[in-house]
Structure 1
């Protein structure tokens, strides 16, 4: 396996195992290899009792976040989902969090360029506003906001804006959003990509936004409800997300 030449990013994960699962790195390795991977994806794991255990290896290029693996160290805690199969921070033990903080400090000494974040912080910024918002998360991993958590503990953190900070859609032309619905702001932006005029992108579905939605619905052969209903959202995303990615 190839080794990293630099380590500038530390990524915190959970491995989405249910309560009571405690088979260590060997168990996770078996799961990953059954999925066709060459080895366990994470560089290191932290077991439910707080015991750290090496995974793929300290300098190995892991497999946990596509596009970042060559510069990142992957540190994963066992757990992350509850008995119902839903992401749940309460499945993470205090001993794990204590060890997580300890290992992050130690790895920061080992890798002086490292900056920390959570897996979901590396999700794509779909609406291009410079903020990674909950509706953009590829997954819930690691079920909590690592960046402010790490910063409070004196650790260096990645310069990634999440919902823990004020949301500014377009500096000097749009308001700071702290309360309005960021999902609505994203859908407003999709409408503007199609040339629909609706006023400021502000996360509020006012009269101008409703009129623009109705115009889009008319052009798309949809019921003219004026709402961001499921058929409208699906059509918006199909047309304008694809164009934006092209």
Structure 2
């Protein structure tokens, strides 16, 4: 099995195993091998009661985040989904977080160039604004914002912008804060690609944005709700995301 030549990224995961699951690295290995993998994907896991356990190995190239495996160390906390199989950070125990911090600190000493992030922080930036926003996350893993958490604990973090910070989407636009406004800003951007005039892209659905939505709905034969409802969003994305990618 190949080893990493450098380690510049540390990636935090959850295993997405249900509450009460506690079969250790052997159990995760069995799950991953049943999916056709050669071994467990993570370099290590953190079990429900807190103790870490080596997975694929400290220097091994893992299989935990496509496109970054050759430079990254992957550690995963057991848990992450509730009894309904929905992402739920409350399934992660305090002992696991304490161990996570301890291991991140130790690994930072072992790998001086390492920078930390969560799995979802490595999602593609679909709208190209330099910010990884919640609607762009490929998956919820690890169910919390690792970058600000790690920074608060004095650990080095990856240079990835997320919506835990105040951001500006366009020169001269209003700041967009964490929350659903980032989704609205993306949909505003799609409207402007269609030639609809609505003012600054700021994530605020005000009078001009509502008028632009209504005009788009009228042109598309949709109910004129003036809102980013499901049919409107689906139509916007089908037309203007494809056009942007062409």
> For residue 69 of structure 2, what is the aligned residue in structure 1?
69
Over residues 29-72 of structure 1, what are the superposed CA-to-partner deviations in whole Å (9 max), with x where a residue is unaligned?
11111111111111111111211111111111111111111111
1:1-246 counterparts in 2 under 5 A?
A: 1-170=1-170, 172-178=171-177, 181-246=181-246
- For residues 19 and 38 of structure 2, the distance between their equivalents in structure 1, rounded to whole angstroms, comes to 26
- For residues 50 and 227 of structure 2, the distance between their equivalents in structure 1, rounded to whole angstroms, comes to 48
1:184 is paired with a residue whose SS is helix
Q: Larger deviation: 222-231 or 50-59?
A: 222-231
Change (3 A) 1:4 1:244: farther
**CA contact under 8 A between 1:129 and 1:168: conserved in structure 2?**
no
Residue 238 of structure 1 deviates from its aligned partner by 1.3
Gaps of 5+ in 1: none
- For residues 58 and 244 of structure 2, the distance between their equivalents in structure 1, rounded to whole angstroms, comes to 38
Gaps of 5+ in 2: none
**CA contact under 8 A between 2:164 and 2:177: conserved in structure 1?**
no
- For residues 169 and 176 of structure 1, the distance between their equivalents in structure 2, rounded to whole angstroms, comes to 7
Residue 198 of structure 1 deviates from its aligned partner by 1.3
Residue 177 of structure 1 deviates from its aligned partner by 1.7
**CA contact under 8 A between 1:121 and 1:160: conserved in structure 2?**
yes
**CA contact under 8 A between 1:116 and 1:147: conserved in structure 2?**
yes
- For residues 214 and 153 of structure 2, the distance between their equivalents in structure 1, rounded to whole angstroms, comes to 49
- For residues 140 and 14 of structure 1, the distance between their equivalents in structure 2, rounded to whole angstroms, comes to 9
- For residues 166 and 160 of structure 2, the distance between their equivalents in structure 1, rounded to whole angstroms, comes to 12
Q: How many residues align?
A: 245
- For residues 71 and 241 of structure 1, the distance between their equivalents in structure 2, rounded to whole angstroms, comes to 31
Residue 18 of structure 1 deviates from its aligned partner by 1.0
State the TM-score, normalized to the length of structure 2.
0.94
**CA contact under 8 A between 2:199 and 2:208: conserved in structure 1?**
yes
Over residues 175-214 of structure 1, what are the superposed CA-to-partner deviations in whole Å (9 max), with x where a residue is unaligned?
1122772211110001112222111111122222122222
State the TM-score, normalized to the length of structure 1.
0.94
